[in-house]
């Protein structure tokens, strides 16, 4: 069983969001990806969808999760459960960094904008 040194994984620094893939196709995964992300206060993920379930564990911070138009507030020590193909967005509506770990049931994850058009992910360009 391979051991991944998370701190050695490439960091993608996007406006308001830092991303690392802790487990994915580059690590031999075929049906699961695990991401670590930090979202700065006032920033958010794009509105998006993917044809797989997603579980997001909130390690630090608080925010708002919008799933299919329904807004829900959350804090640390929460898990967000996102159904397959649901249009959603994670917003850091707190005043500290939002630190999350996301497990997605697809590898590679094929993300689409809310309207359905393909979304290019910088960490999948390599």
CATH code for the structural domain at 11-112: 2.60.120.10
DSSP states along 71-124: EEEE-SSEEEEE-TT--EEEE--SSS-EEEEEEESSSS--EEETTS-B---GGG
Q: Average model confidence (pLDDT) for the chain?
A: 96
The predicted-structure confidence for 39-74, as pLDDT tens digits, reads as follows 999 999 999 999 999 999 999 999 999 999 999 999
The predicted-structure confidence for 91-109, as pLDDT tens digits, reads as follows 999 999 999 999 999 999 9
The domain limits of the chain are 11-112
Over residues 25-33, mean pLDDT:
95
Over residues 62-89, mean pLDDT:
97
Q: How confident is the model at residue 1 (pLDDT cuts 50, 70, 90)?
A: low
């Amino acid at each position: 069983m391979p051991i991944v040194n998370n701190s050695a994984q490439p960091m993608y620094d996007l406006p308001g969001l830092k991303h690392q893939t802790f487990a994915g196709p580059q690590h031999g995964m075929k049906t699961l990806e695990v991401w670590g992300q930090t979202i700065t206060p006032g920033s958010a993920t794009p509105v998006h969808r993917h044809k797989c379930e997603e579980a997001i564990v909130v390690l630090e911070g608080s925010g708002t999760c919008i799933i299919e138009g329904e807004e829900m507030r959350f804090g640390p020590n929460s898990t967000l459960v996102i159904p397959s193909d649901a249009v959603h967005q994670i917003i850091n509506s707190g005043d500290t960094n939002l630190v999350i770990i996301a497990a997605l049931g697809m590898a590679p994850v094929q993300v689409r904008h809310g309207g359905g058009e393909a979304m290019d992910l910088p960490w999948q360009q390599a």
